[in-house]
Amino acid sequence: MTRTAQVVVIGGGQSGLAAAYHLRRVGLDFVVLDAQAAPGGAWQHTWDSLHLFSPAAFSSLPGRIMPTQAGRTYPDAQHVVEYLADYEKRYELPVEHSVRALGVHRDGEFLRVETDSGTWRARAVISATGTWWRPFLPAVPGREDFGGEQLHTVDYRRPQDFADKRVIVVGGGNSGAQIAADLAYDTDLTWVTQRPPRYLPDDIDGRALFDAATARRRALDEGRTDTGGVASLGDIVAVPPVREARDRGLLKASPMFTRLVPGGVEWSDGTRAEADAIIWCTGFRPTLSHLAPLQLRGRRGHIATVGTRAADEPRLHLLGYGDWTGPASATLIGVGRPAREAAREIAAEVA
């Protein structure tokens, strides 16, 4: 059976919910399809001690401020899951959970969304499937020779799983720093980063990242000099556990090794370190395989966009994947604005 809606939103994490909020406001008929069985998107799957890098009030979706979490300035992931579940319920957003979009196809004046439980036809599709589901691993020689455990950020849960083990954490971003800090007390830790860690000043958090991303977008839009955006500030927000481990001298970073060897890693000068496990905190790519039938893929796995709209398929919008789909759009506070713009553009056309 084929069902019809004016808009199908694929993905029911924060980005899909922000889209749904604004689609409701502009009066469109829509459905949100989400592969997860429960609300919360990727936040349901992060490591236990993950802290947001902004206070609750600065991690809010449109319409509803995130409540503060008792005893914490920077909420944990479970708090975000509860907030998103409440958001979905409070606004009675039509989210169909446990439904995976398999392919989006052109079908005359419609886009057809094939899922693992039926087909939808829509005048527009908003893809909001995040990046968590496509972990990126750099090509480093010798990966097959290592023999120990290799994980990505998405697989890591808690330090107890590595108690007394020799662990190498690779990556100088927020995930790498937070996971290294988590492991610094109970494991024999080596933290490896491509360049020396760049901490944001301790009094700066995700709010400044949002401001920097917005200022950069504005400068580029107005033809002014590139401000450098978020990258100009630093890579790591010094959330309390990171700050504490760093200040205790437990977060000493080594440069990137050149290859993996049986039981460890090796640097270019021949130095070696033994390891039981390597945790690759090396980032993500956008989850876009469901859009493959539209044949839109461009450079670096992205799709060319104008705002949130796909440049070569005007009925498709992309939301929440990074700055290329709106300044700071891959953050809780940043996704609201591009979501609103996408909903307004779709409303103007569908009407």
Q: Which residues bind ligand FAD (CB under 6 A)?
A: 10-16, 33-36, 41-43, 46, 52-54, 59, 100-101, 128-130, 132-133, 175, 206, 287, 290, 320, 330-332
How far is CA 11 from each of CA 51, 188, 206, 285, rounded to the nearest angstrom? 23, 39, 24, 16
Provide, rounded to whole angstroms, the least separation between the CB of residue 144 and ligand FAD: 26
Interatomic CA distance for residues 31 and 96, integer angstroms: 7
Nearer to ligand FAD, 89 or 272 (CB): 89
Specify the residue, 98 or 271, whose C-beta has the smaller distance to ligand FAD.
Answer: 98
Query: What's the min distance (Å) between Cβ of 67 and ligand FAD?
Result: 16
Structure tokens at 18: 């922000």
State the minimum distance, in angstroms, from the CB of residue 206 to ligand FAD: 5
Residue with Cβ nearer ligand FAD (7 or 52):
52
Query: Residue for token digits 């300044």?
Result: 327
Amino acid present at 138: P
Residue 23 or 42 having the CB closest to ligand FAD: 42
Nearest distance from residue 228's CB to ligand FAD, in Å? 20
CB of 286 to ligand FAD, least distance (A): 9
Task: Rank residues 129 and 282 by Cβ distance to ligand FAD and give the closer one.
Answer: 129
CB of residue 43 to ligand FAD, shortest distance in Å: 6
Total residue count of the chain as it appears in this document: 351
Nearest residue (CB) to ligand FAD, 129 versus 193 = 129
Of 265 and 303, nearer to ligand FAD (C-beta) is 303
**Min CB(186)–ligand FAD separation in Å:** 21
Calculate Rg over the CA atoms of the chain.
21
**Distance of alpha carbon 126 from the chain centroid:** 17
In the complex, the smallest distance separating the C-beta of residue 351 from ligand FAD, rounded to whole angstroms, is 27
- Mapping DSSP onto H, E and C, the string for the chain reads CEEEEEEEEECCCHHHHHHHHHHHHCCCCEEEEECCCCCCHHHHHCCCCCECCCCHHHCCECCECCCCECCECCCEHHHHHHHHHHHHHHCCCCEEECCCEEEEEEECCEEEEEECCEEEEEEEEEECCCCCCCECCCCCCCHHHCCCEEEEHHHCCCHHHHCCCEEEEECCCHHHHHHHHHHCCCCEEEEEECCCCCECCCCCCHHHHHHHHHHHHHHHHCCCCCCCHHHHCCCECCCHHHHHHHHCCCCCEEECCCEEECCEEECCCCCEEECCEEEECCCECCCCHHHHHHCCECHHHCECEECCEECCEEEEEECCCCHHHCCCCCCCCCCHHHHHHHHHHHHHHHC
| Closer CB to ligand FAD, 265 or 305, in the complex | 305
Shortest distance, position 230 Cβ to ligand FAD, whole Å = 12
33 vs 169, beta carbon nearer ligand FAD: 33
